[in-house]
């Protein structure tokens, strides 16, 4: 797909509306990555920087990431278009789904569908984690930190703040040592 030098605000809003309407869970970040890179709105390094910022800032990561990408593509108007695109369709879907759920809550098919959605969300989250860390697979430290973080949070149920401090600090230290070693050579 050819890169859009200056995407229209409608294109930004429609892209994020489509992503927000057709994916859920961790799959949304992977979808955003695929779309903005394919369209040439930002490069891979800028996307990863935006993802890091989105995860550190308060608020939903998806909204923060959409605003970042929209701003990179078209400035403040692009950020507003991305925000509208990523938030309005899911809001409408939740209103309709909530009304339908309360109407049919006693139906066993509804419970089966929700279990299927949970399995799909888990698969999308794992796929997103693999896609976002794929470039780091050559670094044994990065792979070890990702695996240790997954085990600490999901299996050992450790609090996120100590996990972030220990493994995030380890990643920062490892990257600093790697960069420092490279600059000495």
Distance CA 61, CA 86 (A): 11
Which pLDDT score, from 0 to 100, does residue 89 have?
92
pLDDT tens column, 16-36 = 999 998 876 667 888 899 999
Distance of alpha carbon 80 from alpha carbon 96, whole angstroms: 24
Q: Please list the alpha-helical segments (H only) found in the chain.
A: 9-22, 27-38, 44-56, 61-104, 108-133, 140-150, 160-163, 169-184
Band (pLDDT 50/70/90 cuts) for residue 12 is very high
Q: So where are the chain's domains? A: 1-112
Express each pLDDT in 116-173 by its tens digit: 888 887 787 777 777 777 776 777 887 888 888 889 988 899 998 999 899 989 888 9
Residue-level pLDDT at 1: 41
Helix 27-38 / helix 108-133 crossing angle, nearest 10 deg: 50
For the ranges 4-18, 34-48, 89-103, 127-141, which has the lowest average pLDDT?
Answer: 127-141
The answer, yes or no, to whether residue 70 has pLDDT greater than 90, is: yes
CA-to-CA dists, residue 166 to 129, 131, 140, 154, 172, angstroms: 19, 23, 17, 16, 10
Q: What predicted TM-score, i.e. pTM, was given to this entire model?
A: 0.60
């Amino acid at each position: 797909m050819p890169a859009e030098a200056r995407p229209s605000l409608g294109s930004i809003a429609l892209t994020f509306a489509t992503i927000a309407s057709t994916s859920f869970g961790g799959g949304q970040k992977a979808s955003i990555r695929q779309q903005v890179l394919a369209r040439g709105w930002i490069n891979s390094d800028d996307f990863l920087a935006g993802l890091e910022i989105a995860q550190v800032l308060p608020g939903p990561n998806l909204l923060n990431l959409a605003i970042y990408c929209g701003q990179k593509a078209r400035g403040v108007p692009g950020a507003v278009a991305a925000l509208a695109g990523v938030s309005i369709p899911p809001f409408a879907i939740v209103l309709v789904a909530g009304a339908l759920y309360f109407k049919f809550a006693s139906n066993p098919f509804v419970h089966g569908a929700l279990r299927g959605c949970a399995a799909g969300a888990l698969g999308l989250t794992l796929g997103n984690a693999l896609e976002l860390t794929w470039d780091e697979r050559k670094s044994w430290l990065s792979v070890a930190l990702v695996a240790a973080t997954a085990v600490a949070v999901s299996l050992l149920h450790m609090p996120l703040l100590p996990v972030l401090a220990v493994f995030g600090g380890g990643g920062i230290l490892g990257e600093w040592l790697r960069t420092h070693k490279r600059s000495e050579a």
